[in-house]
Chain A
Amino acid sequence: MATETAVDVVMPQMGVSVSEGTITKWLKSGGEEISADEPLLEISTDKVDTEVPSPATGTLQEILSQEGETVAVGTKIAVISPEGAPAAEAADVPEPATAQAAAESEDASGAEGETATAEPAQEAEPGPAETAEARPSPQPPPAGDGRGDKAFVSPVVGRIAAEHSVDVTQVEGTGRGGRVTKKDILAFIDSGGAKETPAPAQEPAPPEAHAKPAERAPEPATVQAATPAAPQAGETVEPMTPMRKGIAEHMRRSLDTAAHVTTTFEVDMARVVAAREKLKREFQEKHGVKLTYLPLIARATIDTIGDWPWMNAEVRGDSIVVKQYVNLGIAVALEGGKGLIVPVIKSTEGLNLLGLTRAIIAIADRARSKKLLPDDVQGGTFTITNPGGFGAIHGTPIISQPQVAILDVEALVKRPVVVTDDDGNDSIAIRPMMNLCLSYDHRLVDGAYAAQFMRDLRERLQTWDESAY
């Protein structure tokens, strides 16, 4: 039976720090014939989306992990019955004749299960040469056809290609045998070559884009190098979820990228409070939606962005890219405090207050019930975060890359403030006050620009004109 042992297909290791992968598509279905190295399925990991070649020629006997499933590296995901061995025969374990044989059989399958994570099962016993050759290589061949001289991608070139989503085969190589050197790929990127790659590659993914993480930069060295220390007494240790890792990487990268500055404005929300009181009932009764302060503030912010376009921009290399649309990201905390996701509402400049309210409610619901699509978390141009609901009165939020600003909406609190009437008389009054904190990227946005944006936003809120919305 040994020579006819079915070949396991395992989730490949796609990089040093990658621990799991998601099956995005099976290219073959059960019972179909396949030859060695023919693409068998597509997977998506923290680092790359890629095809997995078949480790052997034969029949795809069984698919063990379905599309959409995320499994650890080394997990058996399918079984291929090698050429010459009928699928049924390979699948059947012969009936043990005696109790002794049954025990041996169980031992053997147990051992196979253990080794499956590290190496294909057939390695336990010498198989025929062609089976051994067809075994999956520990690392997939680098970009290109994996055969020609040019196809060798050095570690640094591979890293740069991943960071900039460059297809290495498109780069002219000047190294030995036409190999693409670091200089070649840097020159290619400098000359704008990277921009010719498909659209999603142009923007680094936001932190929450787990579903499509191909364009994410590799983790900074500090994260990679850190070897977790063994737990000490009194400590509990749990692995980071992919979302946690994504947040950690993105937050660190954002601080390493943008020149963060935070400015805070106090806003008298009396008119907004009054407007909401008035509209709340109408929204509930006529449209069945609950109106919070967030849509009102968001609406005013979007309008103010219209006058200060650099708030809705991106630093791309040496260029300033101003977006004509406001794709508004809304930070949503997940229950249990164990995650954060920033779904994006597209083209909010075209939504009135009711439309925006509905969109915010819909997307927040989808975020909390984990029904967001990859598209829902991409392409943001400006973000609003709203920790005020918990009572926070000041914050210095971190910008979601590649955006240049994030607005932090703080708690609405009643405060004694000095108000001046039309005749110039001062008096102390109790007013509903709110702090708005704006973190902006000083690489692009200067202090005066940010302050004027905030001044106008405050003005819009303080003089809220219902008819405008």
Chain B
Amino acid sequence: MAVKTYLQAISDGLRQEMQRDKRVYVIGEDIGVYGGAFKVTQGFQEEFGAWRVIDAPLSETAIVGSCTGAAIMGLRPVAEMQFADFISCAWDQLVTVAAKQRYRAGTAVPIVVRLPSGGGFSGGPFHSQNPESSFAHIPGLKIVCPATPADAKGLLVSAIEDPNPVLYFEHKHLYRRIKDEVPDERYTVPLGKARVHREGDDVTVVTWGAMVYTADEAAKQLESDLSVEIVDLRSLSPWDKEAVLTSVEKTSRALVLHEDTRTGGFGAEIVATIMEESFESLDAPVKRVAAPDTPVPFSPPLEKKFIPQVEDVLAGLRDLAEY
């Protein structure tokens, strides 16, 4: 197994799928000649040709709409939003058409929309968001948020295989910072299955994406005092209730951590589910650590204040432990 960056794992997974399945094609803004804003599809147009690596006009509506039509006709499109934030333009095609087609007409819509998301590099309010919870609310869409290179590849393959529209949130902060071993051969990571990132007995942290590493750092710093279990959800829709409840039933204390803003964030759904289904296992109120309800600031100190930091998680964990 080779050690690869998170970005390389996504790129390799996508390339492998295009090599083995001619129905798979990619479309997005500047993904062809330029190789994509983050170079995920670098060299793809040379390898697969302009018909399978399509530079789209600056219209997310057109990208998702054309993918939906092509998927209904039997292809397996993988669209790239240059930034996850831009997906709001494609809301209607995605939510009104793609998500409901199977229910309405029984036709599968096997599209994948890749969404470079997340902040941490002063991208400001239009280039830093984590809009996963908006889509988790839409029946008919699936959502994945890989945290590790191996999951990034395996979940991408599963997303392409899946007959439903899948939103693939890839965290920009992880692209080149996170490196790990990734199998060379093709494999899948199942949708809807969480992963225990770190085992522990005292507190459960439920999180996903880049926050897995924030949680991990906090857990390491508390190691001598507190045994923290980290559940990396990997998929938000469907999400692995069983894994979360199993962990909470063990630890009796839980903290839900996400980079998205607090109100209506997906953490609220997780907290509510824990309350509903594992109430008698709780020894403390379930806590949320999330971004405040504001747009993502440009200013580096403000952005640091905005995105949950290791210190915020430490404070949350200490508070839970002392309860």
Contacts and interface: CB of A to CB of B under 8 A. Distances in A.
Given A175-B322, A176-B322, 19 more contacts: A154-B252, A154-B282, A155-B279, A155-B281, A155-B282, A155-B283, A156-B280, A156-B281, A156-B282, A156-B283, A157-B283, A158-B280, A159-B281, A176-B323, A179-B323, A181-B283, A181-B323, A182-B283, A218-B280
List the 10 shortest-distance A-B pairs measured between CB atoms, nearest first: A182-B283, A159-B280, A154-B283, A156-B283, A155-B280, A156-B252, A182-B252, A155-B282, A155-B279, A156-B281
A159 B282 CA distance: 10
A364 B19 CA distance: 78
A225 interface: yes
A380 B277 CA distance: 35
B222 interface: no
B315 interface: no
Contacts of A179: 323
29 contacts: A154-B252, A154-B282, A154-B283, A154-B284, A155-B279, A155-B280, A155-B281, A155-B282, A155-B283, A156-B252, A156-B280, A156-B281, A156-B282, A156-B283, A157-B283, A158-B280, A159-B280, A159-B281, A175-B322, A175-B323, A176-B322, A176-B323, A179-B323, A181-B283, A181-B323, A182-B252, A182-B283, A218-B280, A225-B277
A326 B24 CA distance: 75
A17 to B, nearest CB: 11
A181 B203 CA distance: 13
B18 to A, nearest CB: 45
B299 to A, nearest CB: 36
Chain A's interface: helix, strand, loop or mixed, by majority?
A: helix
Interface in B274-323: 277, 279-284, 322-323
Contacts of B323: 175-176, 179, 181
Nearest to A180: B283
A177 B277 CA distance: 27
Interface string B251-283: 010000000000000000000000001011111
A155 B280 CA distance: 5
Contacts, number: 29
A154 B283 CA distance: 5
A155 B277 CA distance: 12
Interface residues of A, number: 13
Contacts of B281: 155-156, 159
B164 to A, nearest CB: 27
A158 B284 CA distance: 12
Interface residues of B, number: 10
A225 B279 CA distance: 12
B29 to A, nearest CB: 47
Nearest to A174: B322
A427 B284 CA distance: 74
Interface in B231-265: 252
A332 to B, nearest CB: 34
Nearest to A224: B280
Contacts of A176: 322-323
A225 B281 CA distance: 14
A182 B321 CA distance: 11
Contacts of A175: 322-323
Contacts of A225: 277
Contacts of A154: 252, 282-284
A176 B280 CA distance: 20
Interface in A154-179: 154-159, 175-176, 179
Contacts of B283: 154-157, 181-182
A183 to B, nearest CB: 8
Nearest to B201: A183
B181 to A, nearest CB: 37
A218 B279 CA distance: 13
A175 B277 CA distance: 24
Interface in A219-233: 225
Interface string B180-204: 0000000000000000000000000
A156 B279 CA distance: 8
Nearest to B281: A156
Nearest to B276: A225
Q: Which of A155, A157, A218 has the most CB of B within 10 A?
A: A155
A13 B142 CA distance: 41
A398 B248 CA distance: 32
Interface string A230-257: 0000000000000000000000000000
Nearest to A158: B280
A179 B283 CA distance: 10
Interface in A179-215: 179, 181-182
Contacts of A181: 283, 323
A438 to B, nearest CB: 35
A154 B322 CA distance: 14
**Residue of B283, B322, B323 with most chain A CB atoms under a 10 A cut-off:** B283
Nearest to A159: B280
Interface in A133-157: 154-157
Contacts of B282: 154-156
A181 B279 CA distance: 15
Nearest to B202: A183
Nearest to A179: B323
A247 B315 CA distance: 47
A176 B323 CA distance: 5
A9 to B, nearest CB: 28
B274 to A, nearest CB: 11
A223 to B, nearest CB: 13
A349 to B, nearest CB: 41
Contacts of B322: 175-176
Contacts of A218: 280
